[in-house]
Structures are given as structure tokens and as C-alpha cells.
Amino acid sequence: MSRIKSFCKQIFARGVNWFLVALLSIALALTACSPSEQIPPKPECIFDDSPDPRLICFNETPERIISLAPSNTEILFALGLGDKVVGVTEYCDYPPEALEKEKVGGPWTPDVEKIVALQPDLILASDANPFDIITTLEGLELTVFGIKSTDLDDVLNDIRTVGEITDTEVEALALTSEMAVGIQSVTDQTEELEQRPRVFYIVWHDPLWTAGSETFINELIEKGGGVNICGNITGYPTISIEEVVARNPEVIITSSEPGVYEWAMNETALNTTDARQYNRVFVCDDNLVQRPGPRLVEGLEWFAYFIHPEIFGEPED
């Protein structure tokens, strides 16, 4: 049809005077060049966040969704898509309704056969999933879309992207707007602070595993009014206890993994740190700060409270 439209334009542009051609032009203008003719919509195509980003096209709104990460599950339920979720990982424990969903293995070891049996029309993956699993699922003609967040802006963008894919844009906008307000309410009180305590976050203690720059935990520390003592290291590195002592954290925050807080409170090598000297060692629900989902704002509020109790009150559960 585009060729016909082009032909129409050429005839009018040249001012052809032949009577028959003029009649033909009018006829074409009333038929082929008519704006009322419907053009089939193109499928919506979006690049995902896989290690090798792929352009994924969606011809229809997904009705059967599998989540391959706890954070993805939280996003889907927060957007009101719980009824469409047909499968989740063994670690997907929030909201409580997620526990009732069919389990498809862990994020690192998803069960391909079980996934195929559930006949999903969307598999929402994360950077925790092995890329060879993603390519295997794609090879079985399943639609896999990966998201990955390294900071709060990424999380908000990922939520909006999931909303776009699932036709819940309105819900995604409402959710991310509420999250943005929560973030701003903290940063309004911390961004101009001159006193920023040195903070050490412990993911695990054996080996000693922490969070450096280019992670959302690092951003929670900074937006909460602190300075990450491992901010000069990228990602989630291990670090020696001697180096931690040398950097002398004023605040230590541990994950809620069993034994981590107890280790931080009893490790004699940490006795000389300001955090231990002034009893500023805290435990935080790691699901609030290690899952890039809607509850990160609650995690930020806890971090701000741990780092600056003189400014922030204890967050409400």
C-alpha cells in the first residue's frame, strides 16, 4: 500500500493534466490512500537486560507467567499480576500468596521440564539465572525476558518495563511514583549531610562477603547518609577481616542470614572498630535490601535509621 500512496503523491506533485489520470488519482485517493484503512499493529519489541541483550517481541499480553527470581515475583504481585503467575522459584516467599504457586526449582537451577509443562507465554528472568538456561528455554520457543538492576533507578525502570510488557502501565506508574516519593523523603534529609558515617555491609561471613559500588546496597548506604567502606570495589567482592579493621567502619549492617549477625558481634578482630566500640552493629532483613524489587524503599528507610538514628525513627513494619 505504501507504493500506491507514493504513486498518489507523485501524480499530484507533477500536476498531470490528463483527464483519465486525474480520475484515477481521485479514485486512488478515495480508496488506497484513505486514512481510514486499518494497518495491522506491529508487535511491541523491547530489549531486555540479558548478558547479551535481546530484542523480545510481544504479540499478545502474557497470561501465563513464570518468575525465575524472588524480586521478579514481588514485582509481578505488586502490579496485581498474581493470578497470572503460574510458577515461581523455591526462594519466592513474598508475598505469602507466592508460596502457593508451583515451584520450578531455584534461580540457579531451574527445572526446564517443569517450566515447559506449565506452558508459560512469558518467563521473567534475572541476572541470577544461568544464561545457558535462558538460551535453552528460548530454543524451546518460549519467551524469556531478563531484567537486571544495579541501582534504584534501574529498579524503577524495570518495574515500568514489566508494566509495559504485561499491560499494567497504570499500576507500574502508581507503584514507581510511590517508591520515588519514599526515596525522596529520605534523601531530602541526607543529601546535604556533612557527617557521613563509614558503613560496612556483610552479605556473608565465611568468606567475608560484602557489597561494593555499582550495587543497589551501595546506593542504599549512600542515600541513607553513609559512606560505604568498600565503595572503591565493584560488585559483590570478598574482603579480608584485616582490611575491614583498617577501614574502621562506624556502622556495621549484616544480612539476616543465620549466623551472620552473631559472627559480627562476636568476632574478636572487630573489637577495635568504632562500630563495635559504640555498639552500632545491626541486622537487616536481607530480603528488603538484596532483592531489587518494590521493598527496597523499606530497606532504605532501615539503612537511614541505622546510620542516622538522630534523624530517622524506626520504620514501621
pLDDT digits (tens, 9 = 90+) for 108-129: 999 999 999 999 999 999 999 9
Tell me the DSSP string of 233-289: SBSS-B--HHHHHHH--SEEEE-SSTTHHHHHHH-GGGTTSHHHHTT-EEE--HHHH
Is the whole model's pTM more than 0.75, yes or no?
A: yes
| d(C-alpha 317, C-alpha 294), whole Å | 15
Q: What angle do CA 271, 302, 254 make, to 5 degrees?
A: 35
The average pLDDT across 197-224 equals 97
Q: How confident is the model at residue 36 (pLDDT cuts 50, 70, 90)?
A: very low
- Contact at 8 Å (CB) between 104 and 129? no
Question: What residue segments make up the domains of the chain, in order of their start?
Answer: 1-39, 44-148, 192-307
Domains 44-148 and 192-307 share a fold: yes
pLDDT score, position 43: 54
- Contact at 8 Å (CB) between 92 and 73? yes
Return the CATH fold of 192-307. Rossmann fold (3.40.50)
3-state secondary structure of 111: coil
| d(C-alpha 103, C-alpha 149), whole Å | 24
Place of cell 552479605: 203
Considering the domain 44-148 in this protein, what is its CATH number?
Answer: 3.40.50.1980
Say whether the peptide bond before residue 110 is cis (omega within 30 degrees of 0): no
Q: How confident is the model at residue 229 (pLDDT cuts 50, 70, 90)?
A: very high
pLDDT score, position 9: 43
